[in-house]
Amino acid sequence: MNAISSKYNLIKIYELDFGNIEVYSNLAVGIVNDGVDFNLEHISALINIAEIHFSNMDFGYISLRRNSYALDPSVYKYLKELPHLKGIAIVSNNELFKHNFKIEKYFYGNSMKLFKNVDTASEWIQSLVLPKNIK
């Protein structure tokens, strides 16, 4: 089952040991498994996927926070090195994730927003990656 609306073109689903990454035409959605300690090894896999699918085009990333897991915020410095990554959307209703978001945004330093649902997160990503005359 796709994490986002069927109006987006699903290209591939990666089922990894730490969670799933769904790749669409101009965005990726990540769902990390419960209890994972998300670290540099995991972010490397995400960067590899981004380089395969988005090496020559702008894209956004949606972190769909359905599960409880630990995240090393220093991984964001590696994401900043992806030249075509235009923004990260965090989707969660959990109060703890809202607190963590402030820390994550500080470490990332680029466009990052917190959303309550994946539809508004997807729309925001589209506003960042689509040329102004196509939206």
Convert the pLDDT of each residue in 13-71 to its tens digit.
999 999 999 999 999 999 999 999 998 899 999 999 999 999 999 999 999 988 888 88
User: What are the structure tokens assigned to 43, written together?
Assistant: 């972010």
Provide the Cα torsion 127, 86, 21, 105; round to 10°.
Answer: -110
Specify the higher pLDDT residue, 1 or 110. Answer: 110
pLDDT at res. 93: 85
Going 115 to 124 to 63 to 25, the CA torsion angle's sign is positive
Q: Span 96-111, mean pLDDT?
A: 85
pLDDT at res. 1: 52
User: What are the structure tokens assigned to 113, written together?
Assistant: 């927003």
Q: Provide the 3-class DSSP secondary structure of residue 78.
A: helix
Give the residue from 57, 28, 50, 64 showing the smallest Cα distance to 134. Answer: 57
Strands 70-71 and 37-38: parallel
pLDDT at res. 29: 96
**For residue 94, pLDDT beyond 70:** yes
